[in-house]
Structure 1
Amino acid sequence: MTNTQPTKLDAAHFDGKALQWDENPVFQERGQKIAQAIRQSVPLHRQMSALDYGCGTGLLSFPLKDELGAILMADSSGGMLEVVAGKIAAQGVDNMTPVKLDLLVDPPPAQRFDLIVTSMTLHHVPDTDHILRVFHDLLNPGGTLCIADLDQEDGSFHGPEVDVHHGFDRADLGRRTAQAGLADARFQTVFTITKTRETGTQDYPVFLMTAQRAGA
Structure 2
Amino acid sequence: MNFDDKAKTWDSDPVKGERALAVATALRQRVPLAHDWHALEYGCGTGQLSFALQADLGRITLADSSPGMLAVLREKVIAAGLSHLHPLALDLTTDSPPAARYDLIYTLMTLHHVTDTRRLLHVFHDLLRPGGWLGIADLDQEDGSFHGPGFTGHMGFDRDALQAQLTEAGFDRVDFSTCFLMKKSTDQGERKYSLFLAVATRL
TM-score (norm 2): 0.98
Structure 1 match to 2:142: 153
Question: Does the alignment pair 1:86 with 2:75?
Answer: yes
Structure 2 match to 1:77: 66
Structure 2 match to 1:100: 89
Structure 2 match to 1:114: 103
Take 2:67 and 2:187, find their aligned partners in 1: how far apart are those partners? 34
Change (3 A) 1:102 1:201: same
RMSD (Å) for aligned C-alpha atoms:
0.9
Of 170-179 and 200-209, deviating more is: 200-209
Take 1:198 and 1:41, find their aligned partners in 2: how far apart are those partners? 36
CA displacement, residues 43-98 of structure 1 (integer Å, 9 cap, x when unaligned) = 11110110000000001000111110111100000111111111110011011110
TM-score (norm 1): 0.92
Letter in 2 for 1:184: R
Runs (5+) with no aligned partner, structure 1: 1-8
Structure 1 match to 2:128: 139
Question: How many residues are treated as equivalent by the alignment?
Answer: 203
Equivalent residues in 2 for 1:1-216, closer than 5 Å: 9=1, 13-214=2-203
Equivalent residue of 2:96, what SS?
Answer: coil
Take 2:137 and 2:165, find their aligned partners in 1: how far apart are those partners? 15
CA shift, 1:196, in A, is 3.2
Identical residues among aligned pairs (%): 53
Take 2:69 and 2:88, find their aligned partners in 1: how far apart are those partners? 10
Runs (5+) with no aligned partner, structure 2: none
CA shift, 1:208, in A, is 0.4
Equivalent residue of 2:106, what SS?
Answer: strand
Take 2:116 and 2:27, find their aligned partners in 1: how far apart are those partners? 25
